[in-house]
Each structure stands twice: as structure tokens, then as C-alpha cells.
Amino acid sequence: MGTTVSVVVDGVPVGVNTSALLSLFDIDHVEVLRGPQGTLFGANTTGGVVNVLTKQPTGQYGGQAQVVAGNYGRLDVNAALNFPISDSLAGKVSVLHSGYDGFFKNVVNGEPLGRQDLTALRGYLKYTSAATNATLIAEYDRSRGGSQTSKNISDSTQALFVHGLTDVNQLGFVRGQSLDQPIKTTAIPTALR
């Protein structure tokens, strides 16, 4: 069963709402449409639509960038570059990267846990003439991250017991991860408007 509120980016429905809005960088505007929107947007819009429209190519040289750095290896980089190709054709490339090392530490090897690494690349070709206006948009999204953290509360009768760290009478927590279960998601949606 689909969601009752659909997220649409540049005319393309986003199937997984958790990755629907990676960032609001390079967004022209967002429309929140209440109530059934099946006539305009199709199925799974009983509760409404969040319609996101990105900035279109300008046909002139220009760009913008935003960089954020912080604790735990946090690095966010967003950039967009506009460029003309011909009198009727304009191009644009938009790049988004967001990542951090994670907020937990693996007590076995000292490595950070909960790493997140998101990268999105969006390319535009806009054709404009007296009778036609069309934009081709191609997007590649990649999401990589470490496994979810877990809490080891084993007692001395269990195989996962670690003396001094998981004793029943202690309040200490041991964080660990399954090294063979990384989080991986890749999607390549395209749109023609």
C-alpha cells in the first residue's frame, strides 16, 4: 500500500519518502497541495502532494556554493553551475554531498559507527524557442552508511558476554555493528518537462 501524501520533484514522484528531500539547496520553491490530487499527480495522493520544483538553467554563466563543516567529521558541500550551450540550449549541473563519521564508537576496534555519506548529482539541459520550452533532467543519488548501532546486554551465560563490559550488574553499554550489513541505496530517476 502506497503513501497517502506523495512527494514529487520536478514532475517525478519519489517512491521512498525518507530520501525524497535530500536537501533544500538549489530549490526554486515547494508547493504543499492539500487533499486528493489524483487528477494532476495520479495515484497515492489521497492526502495531498508536496511538489518540489528545482531551479532551472538560466542560460548565463554563474553558480553558487555552500560548505558546512562540523564535529564528527561533518562535511556538507552543495554547488550549482549554470552555463550556456547555444542561443536556445542551456545547461546546469548541481551537486550535493552530505556526510559525517557517526556519533558512536566501536569498542572493539575504535572506529566510529553510524557513518552517513549522501551524494546527489543532477544535470539539466533546457531547450527554449518561440514555440517550445523543454527541460531534460537526469539525477543520480547515492547513499552509503554504516550499520545501525546495537546494545550488547549479554550476561555470563551467553556467548556474546564481554567480562567487565556487559556484566548484568553494570550500567555500561557496548556498541557494535554487523560488518556484513552496510546500508546501501542507489537510485537514478530521470524526468522530462
Predicted confidence at residue 67, as pLDDT, reads 93
pLDDT in tens, the chain (193 residues): 555 778 888 888 877 655 545 577 888 999 888 888 877 777 777 788 888 899 999 999 999 999 999 988 899 999 999 999 999 999 999 999 988 887 777 666 777 777 888 888 999 999 999 899 999 999 888 877 766 555 555 555 656 555 555 445 544 444 444 444 444 433 444 444 4
Q: Calculate ∠ Cα 42-44-46, nearest 5°.
A: 95
Predicted confidence at residue 63, as pLDDT, reads 94
Predicted confidence at residue 183, as pLDDT, reads 44
Virtual CA dihedral for 166, 181, 116, 150, nearest 10 degrees? -20
Domain limits, the chain: 1-54, 57-192
Spatial CA neighbour of 80 closest among 50, 116, 120 = 120
**Residue 32, CA distances (Å) to 29, 39, 79, 167 in order:** 10, 16, 26, 52
Predicted confidence at residue 181, as pLDDT, reads 45
Predicted confidence at residue 186, as pLDDT, reads 39
Question: Structure pTM?
Answer: 0.68
**Residue 61, CA distances (Å) to 58, 79, 82 in order:** 8, 14, 5
Q: Calculate ∠ Cα 107-113-115, nearest 5°.
A: 160
